[in-house]
Amino acid sequence: MRESFFKSLVCALIAVSACGVPPEEEQLKQEQVGQLQSALTYGNWVWGGPRSGSFVTGVHFGTGQFLHSCRAPYAGALHVGKVWEGECHIPYATYNVHLSPFETLHSLPRSNPKWVASNAWTSPPSNAVKGGQDGDESQLICSFGYVDGVHPGKLWRNVCYIAWADQAIASNFYNVLVD
């Protein structure tokens, strides 16, 4: 009984896909994705993990594995994160939340992407790539080097957040993806 209670609490707090999602919740999740995506039309996002030719936004130094930006609905918003071990890992509050289903950034319309160095005390470039939305605030795609690689994440309120290990890591110095 106690183990069941803790599992349900963890599932409720962090939406762990291994906990199993009732069909009606899955349908609601798909409807939320559709509503949130209608506000975001920039870039070619595809369901599921990276495919051949998917846009690379980071690298894990230890394994040499390329990292890709992803997005998924969580807590009423569409969050940007990175694909790792078949799930979209998003930084949320102080946690690394693992989500599925998700979309992966496949390509950009202008095909002239580059990273621009930025920091928390300057405004993001006007051509920064929008990947997510939280209320009326856009989440831009950012990255910074941390411990074992260059990790893609989300720029929110001029701070770049990445999901790493079991936590969200913030940096005031980062790169912003522009196109």
pLDDT of res. 139: 95
Q: pLDDT (tens digit, 9 = 90+) per residue, 75-101?
A: 999 999 999 999 999 999 999 999 999
Cα distance between residue 49 and residue 167, in whole Å? 22
Q: Which of 3-17, 46-60, 98-112, 124-138 has the lowest mean pLDDT?
A: 3-17
89 close to 97: Cβ distance less than 8 angstroms: yes
Cα distance between residue 133 and residue 163, in whole Å? 17
3-state DSSP call for residue 126? coil
pLDDT of res. 21: 45
Q: Provide the whole-model pTM.
A: 0.77
